[in-house]
Structure 1
Amino acid sequence: MAFRYNTSTGKLSPSTPQLAYNPEGIKKLKCADPPKIQWAVKPMPPAPQYSPLGGDQIFGSLIRNRVYEKWPLFQANDGVPVHLKRGARDRVSFMLFAGFVGCSTLYTLFQLGRLINKK
């Protein structure tokens, strides 16, 4: 036997199970099957977007977004780190930057040592 709260009397009253468990005519939702998961599907890269000036005008080649042109180069699985994928130019810029960071760190430590030992 099921009971339902009667709003007019403020008490519980006997009821059918369907009315007791689905008040105000609310029906149970039917569970839909979840969408199928597609595992080995790679997203398609978006179409290349070129600048409004185009590549043949004066500044078009400077403004054009070249990310999509370089995409295959950077996604290649050849064991080379991403920051060195473009060859010698990347290696030289990486070494210059690393040297600059190392020299500035040593200079900072030197200046801190001078401040600490100041007499």
Structure 2
Amino acid sequence: MMTDVVEQNGGVARAAADTPDAAPTQTDPASPGTGTDEPAAAARIVEIRERIDQIDRTLIELWQERAGLSQQVGATRIASGGTRLVLSREREILERFRLALGADGTQLALLLLRAGRGPL
């Protein structure tokens, strides 16, 4: 799966969505992919993006771990005769993310919950 990203300079960067470590390929040879031709600013942007990429890798690992743990909880609950979902627990998670991150937090929590239990 490929994702197109239109940069501010009008160029299109393409990266494989399934490979988080893949660097975008630039179509604009005048730009080093930073949106600036100023060397010091470009170097700083590259440095910051390296840290962003580290964070993204960690988020992906944590997402996968969380989803697996949530699936284990659900399987254990069902195997013991319990319900598929515990709505009070889901509301608690939604509220925690909403308080910390606002409306975007609610959306993130919904995605996390779905990753662990599947669609409703």
Higher relative contact order (CA 8 A, sep 6+): 2
Higher helix share: 2
In the superposition, the TM-score normalised over structure 1's length comes to 0.32
In the superposition, the TM-score normalised over structure 2's length comes to 0.31
Max radius of gyration: which structure? 1
